Chain A
Amino acid sequence: GQNIDQPTEMTATEGAIVQINCTYQTSGFNGLFWYQQHAGEAPTFLSYNVLDGLEEKGRFSSFLSRSKGYSYLLLKELQMKDSASYLCAVHPSNTNAGKSTFGDGTTLTVKP
């Protein structure tokens, strides 16, 4: 099965940098996703890592270490609109239906 851990809440200041960690234990691994979810809205895709290393997309970067079962999402130059929940999701390899298992999410509050 899968076990995914991420912090429940984080607070940061506008303009700063924040790192949201995700650790996982899975019986197989075929990629890790990060989704953003604003309050009252649906989750939306942010990033996907399947190989070790850093993937950069503008202000957002995501890192993966498969040997450590660890990922982080790095948000730079924080803006108020970045206040949201960030979901880590792991995609196991032993499945025929593309299932992902989601962590409970990290609620990020950006303060002025």
Chain B
Amino acid sequence: DAGITQSPRHKVTETGTPVTLRCHQTENHRYMYWYRQDPGHGLRLIHYSYGVKDTDKGEVSDGYSVSRSKTEDFLLTLESATSSQTSVYFCAIAGPQGQGDTQYFGPGTRLTVL
């Protein structure tokens, strides 16, 4: 199994508070992704990274920001959490080519915004 962890695994927070989710990999893969998964919507890409300090938006990036200061860590921040951001968040890694590479997923973070 790819070495990829997420923290925290579960979090309950209140509307308006900032939240940061962490994804950590030990595989030295170049590409990292943040998805959210909601019933009836499958996996939707929030942001992704193709290298240290290189990030770009996915299809549902509003309300989220990311940072990647080291190869192994990719942080997802909700600046001011809203109830619509209640979801399961998955981090994934891929590499080294990107195109045609299998994505390996972390265990997920279940976030509840009250």
Contact = CB atoms under 8 A, between A and B. Distances in A.
Interface of A: 30-31, 33, 41-45, 48, 50, 87, 89, 91, 93, 95-105
Given A87-B42, A97-B50, A99-B48, A42 B99 contact: no
B41 interface: yes
3 shortest interchain CB distances as A-B pairs: A98-B98, A104-B42, A42-B105
A102 B40 CA distance: 12
A30 to B, nearest CB: 5
Contact of B56 (A30, A97, A103): A97
Interface of B: 31, 33, 35, 40-45, 48-50, 56, 58, 90, 94-95, 97-108
Contacts of B100: 30-31, 48, 50, 91, 98
Is chain A's binding surface mostly helix, strand, loop or mixed? loop
Contact of B50 (A31, A33, A91, A96): A96
Given A43-B90, A104-B40, A91 B105 contact: no
Contacts of B99: 30-31, 91, 93, 95, 98
A33 B58 CA distance: 19
A98 B105 contact: no
